[in-house]
């Protein structure tokens, strides 16, 4: 089994790459930071793992990565992220554009690049890492949540197209995950603000998400898990907000 994991330079992606490697798969790890990829390879010991630096927000990156790696059995679209937590009317337009590029366009184009080969071979599994933010709105979630809603519906629509082809598609939607760069990136490197997000609660770990990826990947080929929503026990839902005079 050959699995490609995007965003494998840190957090959830790195944990998924390691977990699938531990499961005995051949792993292709991609990300923007070459040094981090080398560290990952050194950590797992070198064999059965290859790394390619790729910036999937660039045009042609998906096609060129697909040509470089050749056929794969599992595509894990993990790369993505949130920039900013400002209300929509104050949010940065370039943050919005960047979020659409990495969470929407890159996921769609990379999937599109690998699908024909998977369908031709009559087998394959695409695992998208969505987010609970794609289902539940929260203040400041604006384009990030909307982009993850795209991932959810894209996954379901892929399922509609791929039924009967032998290619399976799953959207795994985690809530708060600690030990990643997610909040540091969202708050543009403000580590104090990032740490405050997880203060006094017990978030999911990247390994928790990797465990679910491993579970989905190990299922018999007749089974397609459409969507998995997962949250820390300490996370929940807010009530409706009402503006009162």
Q: Which amino acids are annotated catalytic?
A: 144
Smallest gap from Cβ 235 to ligand 8X3, in A, equals 6
Q: Which of 44, 175, 208, 228 binds ligand 8X3 (CB under 6 A)?
A: 175
With CB under 6 A as the rule, give the number of residues binding ligand 8X3. 5
**169 binds ligand 8X3, rule: CB under 6 A:** no
Looking at 4-12, 60-68, 111-119, 128-136, which segment touches ligand 8X3 (CB under 6 A)?
Answer: 128-136
- Choice between 107 and 167, CB closer to ligand 8X3: 107
Site string for ligand 8X3, 131-160 (x = CB under 6 A): xxx---------------------------
Please provide the DSSP assignment of the chain as one string: -EEEESSTTSHHHHHHHHHHHHTT-EEEEEES-HHHHHHHHHHHTSTTEEEEE--TTSTTHHHHHHHHH---SEEEE----------TTTS-HHHHHHHHIIIIIHHHHHHHHHHHHHHHHT-EEEEEE--GGGTS--TT-HHHHHHHHHHHHHHHHHHHHHTTTTEEEEEEEE--B-SSSHHHHHTTT-HHHHHHHTTTS--B-HHHHHHHHHHHHHS-TT----EEEE--TT---PPPP----
Cα–chain-centroid distance for residue 174? Answer: 9
Residue at shortest CB range from ligand 8X3: 131
Question: Pick from 75, 176, 194, 204: which binds ligand 8X3 (CB under 6 A)?
Answer: 176
Query: Which residue lies nearer to ligand 8X3 by CB, 225 or 230?
Result: 230
- Exposure on the CB side of residue 171, measured as CA atoms within 13 A: 24
Segment contacting ligand 8X3 (CB under 6 A): 52-60, 61-69, 114-122, 126-134?
Answer: 126-134
Binding site for ligand 8X3 (CB under 6 A): 131-133, 175-176
């Amino acid at each position: 089994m050959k699995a490609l994991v995007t965003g494998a330079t840190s957090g959830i992606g790195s944990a998924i790459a390691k977990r699938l490697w531990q499961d005995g798969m051949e792993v292709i790890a991609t990300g923007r930071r070459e040094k981090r990829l080398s560290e990952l390879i050194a950590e797992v010991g070198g064999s059965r793992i290859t790394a390619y630096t790729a910036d999937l927000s660039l045009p042609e990156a998906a096609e060129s990565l697909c040509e470089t790696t050749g056929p794969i059995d599992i595509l894990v679209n993990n790369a993505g992220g949130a920039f900013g937590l400002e209300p929509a009317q104050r949010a940065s337009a370039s943050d919005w554009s960047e979020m659409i590029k990495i969470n929407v366009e890159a996921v769609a184009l990379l999937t599109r690049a690998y699908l024909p080969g998977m369908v031709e071979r009559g087998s394959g599994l695409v695992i998208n890492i969505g987010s609970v933010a794609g289902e539940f709105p929260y203040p400041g979630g604006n384009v990030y949540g909307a982009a993850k809603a795209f991932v959810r519906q894209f996954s379901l629509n892929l399922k509609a197209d791929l039924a009967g082809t032998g290619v399976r598609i799953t959207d795994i939607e985690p809530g708060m995950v600690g030990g990643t760069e997610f909040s540091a990136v969202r708050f543009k490197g403000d580590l104090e603000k990032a740490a405050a997000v997880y203060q006094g609660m017990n978030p999911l770990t990247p390994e928790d998400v990797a465990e679910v990826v491993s579970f989905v990947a190990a299922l018999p080929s007749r089974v397609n898990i459409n969507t998995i929503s997962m949250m820390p026990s300490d996370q929940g839902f807010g009530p409706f907000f009402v503006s009162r005079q």
